[in-house]
Structure formats: C-alpha cells, structure tokens
Amino acid sequence: MRKIANILYVLFVSLFILSACDREKMDFSNESDGYGQIQLSSMQLSVDVNATPLSRAVTVDAGSYIVGIYNEDGTTLISEWKYSDMPEIFQLKVGKYKVIAHAPSVDKAVFDEPYCEGSKAFEILKDQVTNIETIKCTLQSIMVTIKYEDAFKELLGETVNVAVKVNKKDNELLNFSKDETRSGYFHGTATDNVVDVNFIGTIDGEDNVPIDKSYAGIAIGSHLIITYILNDANGNPGSGGSAGIKLQVDTRCEVVNIDGSVLPDKEPEIDDFPSGGGDETKEPIITGKGFEIADPHNVEDLEDVVVNLEAEAGMRNVVVTITSTNKGFENLICSDDLFGSNTFDLAHPASEEQKAVLEGLDFPIEDEIIGQKNADFAITKFMGPLSGFVGEHKFKITITDSKGNSTSATLTLIVQE
C-alpha cells in the first residue's frame, strides 16, 4: 500500500506541473475509447398517477425518485442518485448505457404510494455531452380501489373490512375500512397475478356477512375498481354472498389498464401522501471523526480525515463528487490515470482501473460498503497530494440505503497560498 501511495503522490505532482505549464492543452483521455459526459441537470421525470379519476388525488414526490445509470442491458449499476441530488453532469466512458428512474422501493403493499418506473437508452460519444430527454415513469404495481354504491352503503354498519391480498402473500395484504378512499398498491409479477378480495361486515343489521371474490390474470399496471352493489331479490345475484332473505349483494369489478398512467409533470412536487404504515427506518448519517463535517477546514489543521458512514438499513451506494476552485485539480481528478471522473460510487467502481486507484487510497469499496451499516471513509492518503493545489476543494458524499433513503454531506478542505 505504501508503494501505491507513493506512486499516486508522484503522479499528482507530475500532473500538477503539466497543468501549470499548459492547462489548456491537457488531454488525459484514452484515444482508443475516450470519455464523454451526460447532462443530468436537463433531465426531467414525468410522474403522475392521476390518469384515472379518483375520489382522492395522489401526489408523487418526484424528487425522492432514484435515478441510476446502468450498462446497455440494464443489468449492471454504474452509479445512482436521488433525483433531487443528481450532479449536473457525469462523465462516462464511450459506449451505450441505460438510465433507469424509479420510485423508492418498498417491500410490502401500501396505500397511496404507487411504484412507477421508466428508462431510456443513450450513447456516450468521445468528448461530447449527451442530453437526456424526459423519462416517462409508468405504473409498475397493481392499483386497487374499493367503492360502494349509495344504496348499498346506506345498509352498512360500522363494522366493515375488505381484505385485499395479491398472490396470497402476507406482505401483499391491505385492509380497507368502510370509509377508506385511498387506493392500495401491490407489487405483483409482470402478468397473471391473482387478487383475492374478501369483504366481511354488517349489512342491514346482519353481522359478519362474507363476500369473497378472486380475480386472476391481472397484470401490473392494472387498476382494479371493486364496487359493491345491491341487487334486487328477484334479480340475478351472480356469485355474490347474500345478506338476509330479501337482500342480495354482489361486486362489480372494472379492470383498467393504466398504460402511461404517469402524465407530464416538469417540476418535482412535495410529497403529501401518507407513509403507508410500518416501521420507519432512520435516514443514513454522515459525520466527521473529530471534526464537524459541515464546517470548512484548512488542510494543514487536519492530520487524519475520516468520515463515518452509517445506514441502519444497510448501504446500497456511496457516491462521492469532487469539485474545486482549482480547475487544474479538477482536471487531474477526471484524468484516466486517476478516477476518470469527478464522481464515483464506492459501492460500484466504474472500471477496474478506478477500483485499483480507490483501493490504493484505502477507500472502502464494494463489499466494504454494500449492505454494511457502518464504514469509515478515510481520505488521509489524499491529503498530501491535495496540499499542492491552492483553492477550495469540496467532497460531496451521498449515502443511499437499501430502502432508497438518501443523505448528503459536503466536506470542504481549503489549501491556502
């Protein structure tokens, strides 16, 4: 490790001399493949689940959506951020990629929190900036709404519950009370889901009247509108249950395919829908060991610089973005001989070359980050080379946990003349 650190130090110094001599002519890109950039600041998310008229509108916080850059087939994550925390621009090697945006993931059915997802393929060309147009996120869950016709609701007592379960999974169960106006959202699989709807309650004074229905072949992106109706005793009750001798009840189910249920919405909106219940996980925490991370610090005043990373739910990504008032330093950071970009993910290094540099600096990477609840991000080895560049250097650190919660903090280091 000492040898690697010395090599990095020499590299920093030599590149600094080159940048001082002729900064305008610097070109560290590999001619065989090279680098380009993606303009993330211009990317908009289109998210709105109000395509079907409901009694209660749902507002989605697009700022909390997770945006990730993947390889061409979408199987390997390169880097990801919360939409509201994305960098303005991100450097990538020349090639084809896919950007995927999705709602924060949850592991159970919830009220008023639709899971939407969208993607778009793009290509990075050498020394060019690629712009991404609006990504349209569509509903990728099953939406269920429970309604009652007026004549039927007038006969209902206070004790009423409708249990909705998808694919007989306990974590895909929601209970709708008599006055519940919210829609429920269930994960399901791509096609052929089975939705069980079990009513039990008091109807016209008769207690514990059951009405059980099952609906098969339901695909994600569908909206099931279950309406309980009152049939005349002489009519055809179908397969519904019966309440007393004179009353017969049934259900009416409309299955609406909500293809493109998310409509254009240029600005992220404030999240005003309920959390959907369950235990809340604490947000990730970023702290400095022996120093306040929010305060600027002179490099000469710090001996060891260690940032503690914490995530109760386990870390999924730790993205570091380095910016500086010293453009020569920024150029060195982005050179092929160092990180290859001013933004990198400790959990998923972008290349074997970047991984080697991160390891050489004793940064925690891959399994030292993924799934871990605590990690020390020590940048002490970085301090020596950094002291040769006058200016203000910022290290923005963003933790995203396994449940999609994100926290950011910026460490500011100052090198004076």
- Quick: pLDDT tens for 216-234: 888 888 888 899 987 654 3
Domains and their CATH numbers in the chain: 2-28+281-415 (2.60.40.10), 39-137 (2.60.40), 142-257 (no CATH)
The predicted pLDDT at position 205 comes to 86
Task: Give me the chain's average pLDDT, please.
Answer: 77
Most trustworthy range by pLDDT among 10-14, 124-128, 209-213: 124-128
pLDDT above 80 (res 261): no
Average pLDDT for 130-137: 86
> What is the identity of the amino acid at 200?
I
Q: Vertex 201, ends 200 and 203: CA angle to 5°?
A: 125
Confidence class for position 351, pLDDT limits 50, 70, 90? confident
Tokens of 12: 């920093």
d(CA 252, CA 148) in angstroms, rounded, equals 10
> How many C-beta neighbours within 10 Å does residue 328 have?
19
- Between 174 and 344, the more confident residue is 174
Report field, pTM of the whole predicted structure over 0.85: no
Tokens of 241: 């249950």
> What is the identity of the amino acid at 300?
E
Query: Which 8-state DSSP code applies to residue 15?
Result: H
Contact 229, 253 (CB under 8 A): no
Q: Vertex 123, ends 355 and 36: CA angle to 5°?
A: 55
Tens of pLDDT along 53-111?
Answer: 343 455 677 888 999 999 998 889 999 999 988 998 999 999 999 999 999 888 899 99
